[in-house]
Amino acid sequence: MVDDPIDEPVDDDPIDTADLPPDDSLGDDEATHRGAFGEFGGSTGGLIERTFRERIVLVGVSLGGQDPDETDASLDELALLVDTAGADAIDRVVQRRVSPDPATFIGSGKAKEIREIAELHDADTVVFDDELSPAQQFNLEKILGRSALDRTAVILDIFAQNASTQEGKAQVELAQLRYRLPRLRGSGGRLSQQGGGIGTRGPGETQLEVDRRRLVRRVHKLEADLRKVQAHRETQSKARSRTRNHAVALVGYTNAGKSSILNVMTESDVLVEDRLFATLDATTRRLSLPGGENVFATDTVGFVRKLPHQLVSAFKTTLDVVRDADLLIHVIDGSGPDPEGCIDAVHGVLEEIGAGDVPELKVFNKSDLGNGSTVLADSYEGSVSVSAHTGDGIEELIEAIGDRVRTMTETADLLVPWDRGDILAAVHREGQVLSETAGDTGMSIRARLEPASLGALREYLVTADGPKE
């Protein structure tokens, strides 16, 4: 069957997809999303109405030679995202296509079929598992007679609910605006020129242009604010680097248990909830290792399949913590249905943010929910199986972190004269002392030290064995 071409006008503005808008600018008869973002903002609302549980129809498309099982798994995750956003997935539709339809992504014939299904279930919204272009979304809403959202919109809605700090709210609002700006449309009188009269004659300015300019101005303001936050974070990073303490970042799929593991390792009280994207803001705690070293451990935002590019860009200041870390603690839910897929999704995001080359320690969590974590840990050399719930394996994890951190240091022998107590104190402060022997002329010390520290102590250096194997 060949889908009939849609005769609706395609509204593809030549605007960078890195900018976006709210539907407040639409007329009441064309506003497609009931969630309120405030006036050209995004800090308090969402794309899914939460005064009641919306009824949602999910749509997934297997393109080309894509495995249908992958599409089903992705739809399962989309159903969890919809539930987290505060709605109910009541049915799902799966289609196979060689390539997306430029006008409607699924073809007008399939869109009409989905409209019948949505009317049968009295659905409020249709959510697509793939990102829709502004033109596709516009055309689909005309055919479906209801809101058409994509996975990106659902994730943005969840982030809008969970953002708590000023930085988090600014990052989410920026991502929302970048998503909505190319979807900004005017209607009816809203597009007419400004009224005539003395001083107002001329080409005038449409309401659409006014709204777009205000949105762009807001985007620039948020970007400037986040650049200040990034500069402050870089200052903090430099201060930490002067302490000679290494930085480790906990990364992984959302709801894998990163915050729980950080709490157990550092005896802290970072927010822990059994839901997607409970953590949006980076949280850093000091972790003491068995060898006496201290490292800074940072909990980060969870990743997900098809993580929107707007979020990756907006959360750059937070994700810089991952890129600048000395070691990544990659937490994986060993009891999940597709751990390997989650690992691949996380690696994809790490590559996108420039952290693909950072050393990684895999940690398979939730060993108390079956033997999946243990089996996976055995298949990945150097990985660890733990349970943040019971504490099993946490000591082994801390030891593994210590071993990995120590591979970043060099073992050296030094002879420190008796009259240089300041140097002796510096060795203890900046490295791990393995042995001390009192001699006639001074203290013979064998210690693990950072290359920078070794450079400062080179006149007291006797031998250097190089990096620890």
**C-beta of residue 423 within 8 angstroms of C-beta of residue 416:** yes
Extents of the domains making up the chain: 1-186+206-242, 243-406, 410-467
pLDDT (tens digit per residue) in 423-465: 988 888 777 788 899 988 899 998 888 777 787 888 898 865 5
Burial profile 93-112: b = 16 or more Cβ within 10 angstroms, e = fewer: bebebeebbebbbbbbebbe
- Kindly state the tokens that stand for 432: 């791990």
Mean pLDDT of the chain: 79
pLDDT for the residue 278: 65
Mean pLDDT of all residues in 164-193:
72
| Cα→Cα distances 226→315, 411, 419, Å | 9, 41, 50
pLDDT at 148 > cutoff 70: yes
CATH number of 243-406: 3.40.50.300
Q: HSE (CB half, 13 Å, CA atoms) of 85?
A: 32
* Beta bridge mates, 66: none
Supply 25's token pair.
């600018």
What is the pLDDT confidence band of residue 149, given thresholds at 50, 70 and 90?
very high
Take residue 65 and report the two structure tokens written for it.
């030679």
pTM, two decimals, is: 0.71
Bridge pairing between strands 327-333 and 360-365: parallel
**Buried/exposed 138-172: b ≥16 CB within 10 Å, e otherwise:** bbbbbbbebbbbbbbbbbbbbbbbbbeeebbbbbb
Q: Which residues contact 7 (CB under 8 A, 6 or more apart)?
A: none
More confidently predicted of 301 and 397: 397
Buried b (16+ CB within 10 A) or exposed e, 73-92: bbbebbbbbbebbbbebbbb
Q: What's residue 428's pLDDT?
A: 83
Is the confidence at residue 469, as pLDDT, over 60? no
Task: Calculate mean pLDDT across residues 419-424.
Answer: 90
Asked whether the predicted pLDDT for residue 90 surpasses 70, the reply is yes
> Distance between CA 316 and CA 299 in Å, rounded?
15
Lowest mean pLDDT among 3-7, 93-97, 256-260, 286-290: 3-7
Bigger pLDDT: 242 vs 44:
242
Fold of 410-467: Alpha-Beta Plaits (3.30.70)
Rounded-to-integer distance, Cα 180 and Cα 175, Å: 9
Taking the CB of residue 382, how many other CB atoms lie within 10 A of it? 11
Beta-strand relationship, 283-288 and 294-299: antiparallel
Do residues 132 and 17 lie in contact, with contact meaning Cβ atoms separated by under 8 Å?
no
C-beta contacts of 25-34 below 8 A and 24+ residues apart: 25/184, 25/185, 25/186, 25/190, 25/207, 25/208, 25/211, 26/185, 26/186, 26/187, 26/190, 27/187, 27/188, 27/190, 29/187, 30/185, 30/187, 32/141, 32/147, 32/148, 33/147, 33/149, 34/147
Residue 197 has pLDDT above 70, yes or no: no
Averaged over 270-295, what is the pLDDT?
76
Architecture of domain 1-186+206-242: 3-Layer(aba) Sandwich (3.40)
Closest CA to 366 of 249, 261, 266: 261
pLDDT digits (tens, 9 = 90+) for 326-382: 999 999 999 988 899 899 989 988 988 888 899 999 999 999 998 989 999 999 999
Please indicate whether residue 77 or residue 279 has the higher confidence score (pLDDT): 77
pLDDT at 21: 37
pLDDT at 386: 95
**243-406 against 410-467: fold identical:** no
